[in-house]
Structure 1
């Protein structure tokens, strides 16, 4: 197995988890907060998908699925088109009220695009600097691992919330 295949497998596993979490839950359940300042399943899944979409689009030079496929309009959230959830507070979290089908559809689109792109990468591609605003600058490989880590953490949080709801 080469590096690209390992990365593609990781993103595929994220998709499996994300797809399973909202299935069968109502929009009200998806928007349930475990406490006043807590995150919801809907916000967590939207946010992790937005981060993946944003970061992969930036690294690949391809337009985000969010705008290219009209997901921004379909979600109809009260945020700017560039919003990813970074810096959101409790009111922003509460504003993400959508159904499972929308969350799963957007994530599937982003994940499929990600996996197709990642599968084509060479090991040399992973050394390319994609963000010079950090010290040290961020390589593509580091950015991809960062997205995988962030996605898995948020997916785990959402899965835990699902468990709480169904207990």
Structure 2
């Protein structure tokens, strides 16, 4: 098993989590916030996808799927199309109200496909490459990809938790 195989498996698990979090939920349920100021499933999944898209495109030298494939226009959100969700406030979370599971999953799956295309070509010798010198120590490609996976797992787990609460309230 290679590093690319491990990364492919990890990102595949994230895809399963993302799809599982939205299965059979209504658009209203995807926008539900368990309490004021909390994130919705729609925002969590959009955010994790935007971060993955942004970070993987950056290290791969690719265009983001968000803009290159027209997803920003399809979502038509009330904030800058470069936004990934960092620093978003409650009003920004509400900006994802009305987003459908099909739209969320379409964008996620497109980003997932680009991610798998990129990591499928990686070798162990690629992973120590420095991709971000703003940190001490500088961030390697391997660390950046693990960071994206960690962020994705956390947010998809939060979405799964909200889903569980919503299903109990049906």
Give, in whole Å, the separation in 2 of the partners of 1:117 and 1:22: 26
Cα RMSD, aligned residues only: 0.7
1:57 corresponds to 2:60 = no
In the TM superposition, 1:41-56 aligns within 5 A as 41-56=41-56
Give, in whole Å, the separation in 1 of the partners of 2:148 and 2:61: 17
Q: SS of 2:22's equivalent?
A: coil
Once the two structures are TM-superposed, the CA of residue 23 in structure 1 deviates from its matched residue by 2.3
Which segment drifts farther, 13-22 or 60-69?
A: 13-22
Render the CA deviation track for 1:55-101: whole Å, top value 9, x for unaligned.
Answer: 00000000000011100000000111110000111111111120000
Q: Counterpart of 2:104?
A: 103
Q: What stretches of structure 1 of length at least 5 have no aligned partner?
A: none
1:161 corresponds to 2:153 = no
Give runs of ≥4 in structure 1 deviating > 2 Å. Answer: none
Once the two structures are TM-superposed, the CA of residue 112 in structure 1 deviates from its matched residue by 1.1
Give, in whole Å, the separation in 2 of the partners of 1:39 and 1:81: 19
Give, in whole Å, the separation in 2 of the partners of 1:129 and 1:78: 35
Please, what TM-score do these two structures have when normalized by structure 1?
0.98
Count of equivalent residues: 167
Give, in whole Å, the separation in 2 of the partners of 1:27 and 1:79: 20
Please, what TM-score do these two structures have when normalized by structure 2?
0.96
Q: Counterpart of 2:30?
A: 30
Q: What stretches of structure 2 of length at least 5 have no aligned partner?
A: none
